[in-house]
A and B are shown apart, each in its own frame.
Chain A
Amino acid sequence: MTLTETLVKPKRRRWSPATRRNFIKGMLFISPWILGFLFFTLYPMASSLYISFTEHHIRTASEWIGLENYLNLLHDRRFWTSLYNTVYMVVIAVPLELLCAFVFAVLLNLKLRGQSVYRLIYYLPSIVPLVASSMLWMWILNTNNGILNVLLGYFGIKGPSWLTDPTWAKPALIIMGLWGIGNTIVIYLSGIQDVPTSLLEAAELDGASWIQRLWYVTIPMVSSITLFNLIMGVIGMFQYFTQAYIFAAAQSGRANNVLGSPLDSTLFYSVYLYDRFSNLKMGYAAAMAWILFAIILVCTLLLLRFSERWTYYEGGER
């Protein structure tokens, strides 16, 4: 039954007793979700939309200020900085992570000895908790004693101040992110292994080289995985928080964490939102949250729209 049919249909047929019984049963079983949806999703959504039009006061009632929060955002330099930083990550880090994950999955699918050990090694970093891995990388990226700069030094390269130089802070976070792409590698690996051997063999018999088989068979066959991971990656990156928080805390100290340090170069959207929230600018933060929601919706729809051309679903139409 399509949505239009449901809407157009003039009158709902009376439910039979059995249908009614099933309906009540169904409602009972999904009641935890219904309650959760009402109290932890629907009510907070309505409330945060309302809050975004107000100025929050701690003791007295909030004050309705209309669109002021949204208009103030337009003139907020830090808001634009945070948006720029986030888009930087979405545009560079997300595709880079996908590309690396795919290439590494191809590597792990080569018929080589000891692949099971390599798969374990590639995968394990991704289960190291984010907090622990972030701290580890603060140590690795340390300017003077960090292993990365020491290793670069062996090749005669003077490593940058990853943690304190605004130019290098985001690349540092990207490198750190690449360390934890094991999940995506596993997903790609299973996708690559699901590519029908008959297709690959046919291509081989037609004289396609290894690279050609990869380009013309494997990549199109995993395109639906690429799309799914791209969308999830973009949504996740717009909410990038934990790593940036720890990154900033590593320099400014836990007690007095200057979010976004050095010099706002790691001030991502969610970080700035949290910063406004912890400064009790509730209305401002709520307005930011709704804009974030809108951005994520638009990005997802655009990706879905433009993916039709390059995505292949087994069994034709989705």
Chain B
Amino acid sequence: MTNIARTMERALGRKRYVWQRALFKVLGHIVVFGVGLFFLVPALWMFFTAFKSSKDVFRFPPTLLPYDNQYVTINGKAYPLYNVPVNGEMRQLAALKIAEGQGTFVNPNDPTEVIETRARYAEPIFTIKFQWRNFSDAINRGVRPGLKVNFWTYLKNSLIVAFFTIIGTLLSCVPAAYGFSRIQWPGRELVFMLVLSTMMLPYQVTMIPLYLLFTETLKWGNSLLPIIVPSFFANAFDIFLLRQFFRTIPEDLVDAARVDGASELHILLKLIIPLSTPILAAITVFTFLWAWNDFLGPLLYLNNPEKFTLAIGLQDFQGQRNTEWNQLMAAAVVFTVPIIIAYFFAQRTFIEGIKLTGTKG
């Protein structure tokens, strides 16, 4: 076999072979880079739009980076700089006033030199400028007139939901997964099949009775409870992941502990959990993502903006009449940053978790 390949290689000619490989590499780079642009440009577009001024957002042709008029300070006041043709010569002048097609410009170095000209001859000078104000504007403004609600309200609610959902998921799924993996009881595998089968059930089937239960029977409408409480009652997906992991812990270890008279709870707390930190971290991260992103749950149960999470409150930042894209993107960036930070802290966990959830059926 090897001989055939070698012969072929020789037949192709060493030179041509090398040349082909080089071409292959170059083509590969071009394609990978080209496709990469599709993923990269929208992300950068979001990021840089967040720093644009309202005027810059609609400037044509658009630029990726945020630009704004270059200003010059004369006698303590800022005036925009323009390129103005004066007697056939292009000069940089500060615009005092532009109205009715007529512009009044002055020489920034000599403010006594005033030049009047048709405004359309003047070209504004732009410079890269990051307008950080968008963030404080988006964050601090009262998004709903008459209500004391702003970004911080939504952020607080999102954090409360994420925190308690993580606690609830861990508190309920860890013991359940232990019961499904490390304790031998009759009927276990059958019940576990039932657990798995609940994953097939679409959310919509239980949505209506749960809505009626939470809002009408329990009167939890307009609180975060309907979103938080179910997480304390274990979910199939996390039980499955934890069980898979627990099963990899050698049975001998657990048996040894049992022989020593350790209770099951003791084994779980002192033996299993310390050995399971990778999967616990993965579940924490993914539950956080899930809670942070959840849209339908809050949409169903939260009517009062004081209880909104960021996911459903984000639309408020687009302004009352016209969409202010720069502020909306600023809010979206702020909403995304915690996820990006989580990603860089737990990069391995992320990737391992995805592989775990995506390849084992």
Report B's interface with A, CB cutoff 8 A: 1-2, 4-5, 8, 25, 28-29, 31-33, 35-36, 38-43, 45-46, 49, 57-58, 60-62, 171-173, 175-176, 178-180, 183-186, 188, 190-191, 194-195, 198, 200-213, 230, 232-235, 239, 264, 289, 292-293, 295-296, 299, 311-312, 314-316, 318, 323, 325, 328-329, 332-333, 335-336, 339-340, 343, 350-351, 354-355, 358-359, 361
Contact = CB atoms under 8 A, between A and B. Distances in A.
Contact of B299 (A178, A245, A288, A292): A245
Given A23-B185, A37-B198, A186-B358, A289 B207 contact: yes
Interface stretch (A67-75, A82-90, A132-140): A132-140
A41 B100 CA distance: 69
B4 A277 contact: no
Contact of A129 (B186, B209, B211, B335): B335
Contact of B355 (A6, A187, A277, A285): A187
Contacts of B358: 183-184, 186-187, 225, 228-229
B195 to A, nearest CB: 7
A65 interface: no
A135 B43 contact: no
A48 B4 contact: no
Given A48-B205, A110-B32, A128-B336, A205 B1 contact: yes
A32 B244 CA distance: 19
A209 to B, nearest CB: 11
Contacts of A63: none
Contacts of B351: 186
Given A35-B233, A127-B289, A183-B358, 16 more contacts: A29-B179, A32-B176, A32-B233, A41-B201, A44-B206, A45-B209, A48-B208, A110-B32, A132-B314, A139-B323, A140-B45, A202-B1, A242-B295, A250-B323, A277-B208, A292-B202
Contacts of A288: 204
A182 B340 CA distance: 14
A147 interface: yes
Contacts of A44: 205-210, 213
A277 B211 CA distance: 10
10 contacts: A25-B185, A112-B32, A125-B42, A127-B340, A132-B336, A139-B329, A145-B62, A147-B41, A277-B211, A297-B200
A239 B61 CA distance: 39
A139 B49 contact: yes
Contacts of A118: 32-33, 36
A17 to B, nearest CB: 13
A268 to B, nearest CB: 12
A104 B32 CA distance: 8
Instruction: Give the interface residue-count category, chain A.
Output: 35 or more
Interface in A11-28: 15, 19, 22-23, 25-28
A25 B175 CA distance: 11
A58 to B, nearest CB: 9
Contact of B195 (A33, A129, A254): A33
Contacts of A19: 185-186
A294 to B, nearest CB: 10
A156 interface: no
Contacts of B31: 107
Given A129-B335, A183-B358, A186-B354, A246 B205 contact: no
A37 B32 CA distance: 46
B205 A45 contact: yes
Contacts of B4: 205-207
A270 B293 CA distance: 18
A292 B296 CA distance: 17
Interface in A275-289: 277, 282, 285-286, 288-289
B295 A136 contact: no
Nearest to B57: A145
A11 to B, nearest CB: 14
Contacts of A187: 354-355, 358-359
Given A26-B185, A139-B328, A286-B208, A124 B292 contact: no
